[in-house]
Amino acid sequence: MPDTEIAKQAIASGPVVRPVSVLLIYPSTTDVALANLGFQRVYGLLNRLNGVVCDRYSLPDDWTPMTQALKPEATRSHDAGRMPMDFDLIAFSISFEPDYLNAVAILDYFGIPLDRRERGSKYPLIVAGGSALFINPEPLADIFDVGFIGEAEGMIEPFFDLYTQTDWRDPRELLEEAARLPGIYIPQFYTPEYTDDVQTALTPEAGVPERIPRHWVAEGDAALCTHSELHGETTAFRDMALMEVTRGCIWACRFCTAGFIYRPPREPDLDQTYESLERALAAQNQNASTIGLVGPSVTDHPQLLSLARRIVAEGKMLSFSSLRMETLTDELVDLILQSGQKTVTVAVDAPSERMRDVINKSASDDFVIDKCRFLTKKGVLHLKIYSIIGLPAEEDEDIDRFIELVKNVQKVYVEECSRRGNIGTVTIGVSPLVPKPGTPFQWHPMEAVSSLKKKFQKLRKALGPLPNLHLSFGSPNEAYLQTYLSRGDRRALSFFEAFLKNGRDEKRALQGAVPHPDRFTYRQYQRDDFLPWDIVDHGYFPKFLWQDYQRGLRAKHTPVCDTATCKICGIC
């Protein structure tokens, strides 16, 4: 159990009648689990609750997706070495849809039936949370017993109070009561309805909410103090500690879940978080030579510069999860360089100026080229340019514009590098759009895999021969799977079952899934269509997202978030 300052703050609750043991699982390898701040946060929160003992599990480092079975020893929990069936609850923290495949594989390794209707009282309660789940819980809704919709702080406490303050023999006895708690979704109380194979409703039983309001932490709440809790366990994270800098994002890019499902944007007190992190490190007799600053756009935080100065003055390195190019000032770049970072990513996010208008990002090609010249002049060794393709209303001409932009960036980069006398690499990263639930693009179909492949070929042909340039493309097939898993409904259970039965062949499982996954990935939803993820109520005005989608199709902008004055979307 971590020993941080906030660990010492007793959580106010009633007397414990029935202690609860929880196995918290991150469905990937341990290195990946420790890099996930959400997982670490929930581990710390659960261990601070009266009457709850939380252990953890992630897959062994030598695990591969083709691993068909694990030895019993490899399924033991990491802290106390207990077997999975010894726990009252198994809780999955899931941030990325592709990890659903690992989650179902873990249940299989543990010998726990996938379908919740086949699990009796001898099995632990299976619960799940994390951003992938609260974007759309339905693809896993026949697998887990309880879903947590929203941010953990303030949501998990009432749920676990219910379990620790009531006497029970089977945790399923309390589900009816749990269904009335904030953010708690119990799928068994909701029945899907279909017309011609298309879901048209999700009907609640009497006494449970029609939709589940997403839970979030208020600005200024002391709970907005998130940093890594476990240190020094793996090679990758031996020397790095992570802290949350921003929750949510002001920029409202229409493809991006972070800008929508974490609204309103909030700014934790960075000094308080950093000091809490330092105490946590000291309590574990650990040190971190690099501080990873985590958030969708960390440079938006007004305290960021002073924190960065402090960290660099202490002789530590900085690592940024994201840097918005508009916010890269002279001083910030100096601090980045002083801290030893050699690569800066410039996320243009869309291939052309017109497409940047479609996604609600106003950055001209000239601005991007100037920014790249500025960074190279300052001494940044490597640049990364990142874009999405397959955006709504995208045409071949937009890809041509991108090729031109990259050629110009490469030219100024080589010019400036020649002047300063050393040269690195410009990496061009391009990923297909996954139109995600909860964003204005949720109605839009994914671009066909074959069409995306042609666009990548065109980029490779035009840009491949350029010197000092490296191309890195996301896989259209993986984007297809991700789109299916993020936009699917409960019938995805048959896909997961086929995946487990056929020896982990996701392609074959997709081909056999009913309805065919094309029905979810390539479907153009209309304004009044029922969406499988409508069960989640993010708090928007009813038509806000649709209107924003329409503005995007017309390449029109929506103002960025200003929580002091803005009332546009209905959340503030």
- Name residue, tokens 């017109």: 354
Q: Helix, strand, or coil here: 332?
A: helix
User: Least Å distance between CB 568 and ligand SF4?
Assistant: 4
Strand partners, 388: 431
User: Least Å distance between CB 556 and ligand SF4?
Assistant: 15
Cα 4 from Cα 405, distance rounded (Å): 48
- Give the residue with the Cβ less far from ligand SF4, 37 or 571: 571
- Give the residue with the Cβ less far from ligand SF4, 283 or 566: 566
> Do you know the residue count of the chain?
572
- Give the residue with the Cβ less far from ligand SF4, 397 or 562: 562
Which amino acid, one-letter code, is at 95? S
Question: Could you list the residues that contact ligand SF4 (CB under 6 A)?
Answer: 263-264, 561-563, 566-569, 571-572
- Name residue, tokens 């029935």: 18
- Give the residue with the Cβ less far from ligand SF4, 181 or 249: 249
User: Least Å distance between CB 192 and ligand SF4?
Assistant: 30
Count of CB atoms situated within 10 Å of the CB of 98: 17
Torsion of CA 345, 351, 353, 359, to 10 degrees: -80
User: Least Å distance between CB 386 and ligand SF4?
Assistant: 24
Count of CB atoms situated within 10 Å of the CB of 451: 13
Q: Helix, strand, or coil here: 184?
A: strand
Query: Which are the contacts of 311, defined by CB distance < 8 A and separation ≥ 6?
Result: 274, 291, 318, 339
User: Least Å distance between CB 279 and ligand SF4?
Assistant: 32
| CB distance 89 to 171 below 8 Å | yes
User: Least Å distance between CB 321 and ligand SF4?
Assistant: 21
User: Least Å distance between CB 264 and ligand SF4?
Assistant: 4
Which amino acid, one-letter code, is at 89? L
Cα 23 from Cα 119, distance rounded (Å): 17
The 8-class DSSP code of residue 116 comes to G
- Give the residue with the Cβ less far from ligand SF4, 48 or 361: 361
- Give the residue with the Cβ less far from ligand SF4, 425 or 563: 563
Cα 346 from Cα 413, distance rounded (Å): 13
- Give the residue with the Cβ less far from ligand SF4, 59 or 261: 261
